[in-house]
């Protein structure tokens, strides 16, 4: 008997703005400094909300957004800010 596994997709479990914000906040804390984890989280959140609508709200092409938020993407900071706004989120700083 062989076991079959389903691929985990965080986007399926991000059902509210609070869950999305908590997920992104945790990724900010755990990111190694290269932005890979943050890009992945933004990708998951954008897919949970609907990538087409997020791209439209951010003023970027859908394909460009997929590329920017991919594991090999390297989006400009301005793109990240547009996506954050489109997702209904904002960055803020906290002294550590």
54-87 tens-digit pLDDT: 999 999 999 999 999 998 999 999 999 999 999 9
Residue 44 has pLDDT above 90, yes or no: yes
Measured CA to CA, the distance from residue 4 to residue 6 in angstroms comes to 7
Spatial CA neighbour of 79 closest among 65, 66, 96: 65
pLDDT at 94: 85
pLDDT over 70 percentage in the chain: 100
pLDDT at 32: 92
Spatial CA neighbour of 61 closest among 71, 75, 45, 72: 75
């Amino acid at each position: 008997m062989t076991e079959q596994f389903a691929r985990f997709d965080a986007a399926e479990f991000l059902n509210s703005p609070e869950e999305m914000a908590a997920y992104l906040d945790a990724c900010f804390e755990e990111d190694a400094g290269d932005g890979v984890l943050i890009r992945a989280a933004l990708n998951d959140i954008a897919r949970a909300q609907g990538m087409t609508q997020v791209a439209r709200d951010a003023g970027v092409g859908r394909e460009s957004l997929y590329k920017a938020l991919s594991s090999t993407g390297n989006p400009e900071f301005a793109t990240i800010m547009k996506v954050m706004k489109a997702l209904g989120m904002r960055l803020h700083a906290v002294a550590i």
